[in-house]
Amino acid sequence: MKLEHRVRVNAPPERVWAYLMDIPKAARCVPGVESVEAQGGERFRGRLRVQLGPIRLSFEGDISIEARDDTARTATMRAEGADKAAGGGVRALVAMSLSGSGVPESTDVTLSTDLQLAGRIGELGQPLIKRKADQMLDAFAKNLQRELA
């Protein structure tokens, strides 16, 4: 499943980039993230709890920065997690880019996600999953804006 999101943050690109590349700090803006810990280099381990419809999921997994260009302000991140109780998992490849928005002191953040669901989690249906992803990104953008204000 492909997901595309764009959010505008009222802060200059260099400040937004620095914040987003501090993965444990940026993760605190994602609803449901319980922990993210550095594992060395560009690798992290984390836990996320989320409710999809009537089902509560608890993912544990890994996050890694696969590619990073500080000058262009682009990055590609991979996340993989599993919920053993629900019998499934998720894999995501996220391409992120930042650009000036044309409005002084604001930044457009573009996220392109290739999401793969495995096991029973995949049976929940793409519309439900997309709606939840949109809600989580909305909340992430608001939390990010609050942190950078």
The residue ranges of every structural domain in the chain are 2-148
**In the block, which residue shows the tokens 């044309």?**
102
pTM of the predicted model over 0.85 = yes
Residue 103: DSSP 8-state: S
Tell me the CATH architecture of domain 2-148: 2-Layer Sandwich (3.30)
Residue range 12-32: average pLDDT? 95
Closest CA to 43 of 64, 24, 22: 64
Q: Report which residue type is found at 50.
A: V
* CA 71 – CA 53 distance, rounded (Å): 41
Query: How confident is the prediction for the chain on average, in pLDDT?
Result: 91
Q: pLDDT tens digits for 103-129?
A: 888 999 999 999 888 887 777 777 888
Do 89 and 121 touch, CB atoms closer than 8 A? yes
Interval 55-92: pLDDT, tens: 888 999 999 999 999 999 999 999 999 998 888 888 99
**Distance (Å, whole) CA 6 – CA 100:** 12
Q: How far apart are CA 115 and CA 117, in angstroms?
A: 7
pLDDT for 95 beyond 90: yes
Task: Report the percent of the chain where pLDDT is more than 70.
Answer: 100
